[in-house]
């Protein structure tokens, strides 16, 4: 079994098609097919179910995929550990939920890049469930996610305890419990902890939202609130300072706080670049 065979297997699993995997790898399709058959022969089990439109992982294939990911990552970690310099260098991929991508984080990143110019830093935005999955699949070195860690394979390196407020247009002085059912709620996609918090609050009061506007970015969400289209629950730290078009109203004690964590895989090699990034967060007191 060769590492290249594992890489081919994973690309076929991602693409759901041998021909698509061949194009992505720049291989001849027959070469991909041969490698898959060889791998299945060595394992003594089919890794895919074939169908007219492509392939899908078999039950054994799903199990093998987890080990293939680990084996390839361990190989990369071994190389990185041997090649690592005294100073932080190389690549660092960090996932960020929209509510953390604030001016405070940009100051930390600016300081980090100035101190460690040999680190190639990339930021990936997404929902907490999506970013957790990317960390688990070794696609990110770490990610800021809101809510629970979500897996025993993950560990938290830094925590931010945020105060949550009901964000409305500045012209709204208060919203009573009886008014909540008439509010149009501006929310992120399903899976967002703040959307879940909103739904839990309404459910506890025996209410349902009158209308929901789903947005993909924080800026669009705040734009909707500024224009008076609706209200939302957000961490106060995510709001622009001294924004005269927004007002923050208190929420019940059970919903007033939320924790955001910088997570990584517990079993993954921790590079000097990642360690230095965490140190910069602590030095700046980010989110504290």
pLDDT band at 46 (very low <50, low <70, confident <90, very high): very high
Identify the residue with better confidence: 84 or 149: 149
Final residue in a domain of this structure, among 82, 105, 127: 82
Alpha-carbon distance of 273 to 240, in angstroms, equals: 29
Q: List, for residues 265-279, the tens digit of each pLDDT value.
A: 998 889 999 999 999
The CATH code of the domain that includes 250 is 3.40.190.10
Same domain as 14, residue 31:
yes
Same domain as 155, residue 174:
no
Q: List, for residues 90-147, the tens digit of each pLDDT value.
A: 899 999 998 887 778 989 999 999 999 999 999 999 889 999 999 998 999 999 999 8
Query: 169 CB contacts (<8 Å, ≥6 apart)?
Result: 225, 226, 227, 228, 231, 245, 246, 247
Same domain as 52, residue 15:
yes
Same domain as 266, residue 157:
yes
Final residue in a domain of this structure, among 48, 82, 116: 82
Identify the residue with better confidence: 13 or 190: 13
Same domain as 238, residue 267:
no
Same domain as 264, residue 184:
no
Same domain as 149, residue 41:
no
Q: How many domains does the chain have?
A: 3
Same domain as 62, residue 196:
no
Final residue in a domain of this structure, among 82, 113, 138: 82
Q: List, for residues 159-212, the tens digit of each pLDDT value.
A: 999 899 999 999 888 888 878 888 899 999 888 899 999 999 999 989 888 899
| Tokens standing for residue 278 | 């965490």
Which residue, among 39, 38, 50, 162, has the nearest Cα to 100 in the 3D structure?
Answer: 162
Longest CA span, the chain: 70
Long-range contacts of 59-66 (CB under 8 A, 24+ apart): 61/13, 64/9, 65/9, 65/10, 65/13
pLDDT band at 80 (very low <50, low <70, confident <90, very high): confident
Whether the per-residue pLDDT at 84 is higher than 80: the answer is: no
Residue range 222-244: average pLDDT? 91
Same domain as 276, residue 146:
yes
- 8 bridge partner residues: none
The CATH code of the domain that includes 74 is 1.10.10.10
Beta strands 48-51; 257-265: pairing state: unpaired
Q: What is the mean pLDDT of the chain?
A: 91
Instruction: Please report the beta strands in 6-153, taking only residues with DSSP state E, as ranges in sequence order.
Output: 48-51, 54-57, 90-96, 119-125, 142-146
Beta strands 246-249; 119-125: pairing state: unpaired
The pLDDT value given to residue 219: 92
Structural domain range at position 16: 3-82
pLDDT band at 60 (very low <50, low <70, confident <90, very high): very high
Residue range 56-76: average pLDDT? 91
pTM equals 0.78
Alpha-carbon distance of 284 to 277, in angstroms, equals: 11
Same domain as 177, residue 213:
yes
Alpha-carbon distance of 8 to 74, in angstroms, equals: 17
Whether the per-residue pLDDT at 225 is higher than 80: the answer is: yes
The pLDDT value given to residue 49: 93
The pLDDT value given to residue 179: 84
pLDDT band at 73 (very low <50, low <70, confident <90, very high): confident
Looking up tokens 């990911």, which residue turns up? 69
Same domain as 198, residue 246:
yes
Same domain as 71, residue 11:
yes
pLDDT band at 223 (very low <50, low <70, confident <90, very high): very high
């Amino acid at each position: 079994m060769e590492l290249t065979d594992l890489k081919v297997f994973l690309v076929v699993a991602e693409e759901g098609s041998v021909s698509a995997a061949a194009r992505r790898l720049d291989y001849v399709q027959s070469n991909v097919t041969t490698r898959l058959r060889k791998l299945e022969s060595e394992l003594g089990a089919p890794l895919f179910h074939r169908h007219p439109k492509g392939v899908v992982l078999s039950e054994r294939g799903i199990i093998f995929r987890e080990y293939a990911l680990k084996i390839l990552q361990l190989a990369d970690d071994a190389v990185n550990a041997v090649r690592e310099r005294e100073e932080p260098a190389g690549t660092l991929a960090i996932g960020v939920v929209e509510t953390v991508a604030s001016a405070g984080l940009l100051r930390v990143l600016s300081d980090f890049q100035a101190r460690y110019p040999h680190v190639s830093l990339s930021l990936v935005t997404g929902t907490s469930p999506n970013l957790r999955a990317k960390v688990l699949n070794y696609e990110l070195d770490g990610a800021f996610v809101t809510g629970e860690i979500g897996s025993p394979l993950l560990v938290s390196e830094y925590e931010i305890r945020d105060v949550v407020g009901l964000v409305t247009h500045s012209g709204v002085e208060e919203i009573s419990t009886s008014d909540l059912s008439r509010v149009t709620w501006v929310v992120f996609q399903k899976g967002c902890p703040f959307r879940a918090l909103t739904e839990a609050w309404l459910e506890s009061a025996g209410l349902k939202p009158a209308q929901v506007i789903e947005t993909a970015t924080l800026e669009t969400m705040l734009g909707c609130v500024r224009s008076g289209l609706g209200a939302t629950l957000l961490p106060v730290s995510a709001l622009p300072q001294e924004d005269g078009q927004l007002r923050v109203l208190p929420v019940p004690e059970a919903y007033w706080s939320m924790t955001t964590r910088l997570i990584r895989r517990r079993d993954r090699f921790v590079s000097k670049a990642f360690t230095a990034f965490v140190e910069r967060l602590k030095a700046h007191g980010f989110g504290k």
